[in-house]
Amino acid sequence: MARGRAFSWRSLTRELRWDDAFVVLSIECAAGARKWRGAPSRAGESQVENRALPSVGSAKRPDRRVGKGNRWVFFDGDNTLWHVEALYDRARRDLVRFVEQSGASAWEVETFQREEDKRLFGELGYSAVRFARSFENTLRRFIPGATTEQAERVRRLAMSVFESPAETDQDAAGVLVTLRSSHNLALVTAGERWVQERRLAGFNYTGLFDLVHIAEKKTATLFRELVASLCISAEASWVVGDSLRSDAIPALEAGLNAILIANHNWVEVERDGGRPAHLKVVDRLGDILPIIVTSGLEIPAPAHP
């Protein structure tokens, strides 16, 4: 190392061999990774967890020297890796059948509940309380004299969405195993902690992820912090999800690439607003592989666990 100059990490990494520079960068990135792996959260923030299921094996630390570099793929959970909209649809159908006894049409009941749910989203966000309240308000709109027992019944219908297991997407295993050989993988899911923890407990592939993070809300700031803390190459990394609001737009604002999966979801909220011109859109999870391949990143053919 040249003498007579002030010490700096930048000058040090320039003058060391590649392997030594990697050690320096690993120290910096490891410090950032610790922030996102199980560190106690500040008030109002969610905590990051790195989970591993015995059926899959322990999640490994990101390998920055064998092909992966600083490339990451961030996956959403709900309606991306697993499907929850069918649970909402089933609960809504049960509500409609119950309230139809008032003489209202099924269309009137469903339309009111959907509009009420969207209205409450501004106040209560992605919460079980919001959905349950929309059911109660719908009941009282069409049956003003509803009893306490009737109100409790529609609350139970709503809460079944969050207590029932979600179906894993049929492409999830193959996509994750394939991308794991070339990218670090993160699962960043938003919503109430107790709900998302139940979803994660029922998902058999959390062990394939280098990072699992439950956020109250996904924002561009969150993605920027992840990029900076984990030394991520934003231009070579992707965010995959079904929501314009929570996945695609925040990712693009943070300088990441984004793929929107046009899955069946809460379209009134998740697809609210126009699509950015440079956003990639696919119909199913398995379709993300060709997009990443054509971006210039070499990825092997889809694998199966």
Residue 250 lies inside a defined structural domain of this protein: yes
**Residues 202, 249 share a domain:** yes
**Residues 205, 56 share a domain:** yes
Residue type, 147: T
**Residues 288, 149 share a domain:** no
Tens place of pLDDT for every residue, the chain, 305 residues?
444 444 343 333 333 333 343 333 444 565 555 555 544 333 333 333 443 332 323 334 444 433 577 899 999 999 999 999 999 999 999 999 999 988 999 999 999 999 999 999 888 887 899 999 999 999 999 999 999 999 999 999 999 999 999 999 999 999 999 999 889 999 999 999 999 999 999 999 999 999 999 998 899 999 999 999 999 999 999 999 998 888 999 999 999 999 999 866 555 654 555 666 678 999 999 999 999 866 644 444 445 55
Q: Which two tokens stand for residue 221?
A: 């700031």
**Residues 150, 221 share a domain:** no
Indicate the SS3 state at residue 241: strand
Q: Which two tokens stand for residue 289?
A: 């592989």
Name the DSSP class of 279: -
Name the DSSP class of 264: S
CA angle 266, 267, 270 (to 5 degrees): 80
Which domain covers residue 67, as residue numbers?
36-83+167-294
Q: Are 236 and 69 in contact (CB under 8 A)?
A: yes
Residue 214 lies inside a defined structural domain of this protein: yes
Residue 135 lies inside a defined structural domain of this protein: yes
Q: Which pLDDT does position 122 carry in this prediction?
A: 83
For CA atoms 66, 67, 72, 77, give the dihedral sign.
negative
Residue 288 lies inside a defined structural domain of this protein: yes
Backbone angles phi, psi at 26, to 5 degrees: -65, -35
Distance CA 53, CA 277 (A): 39
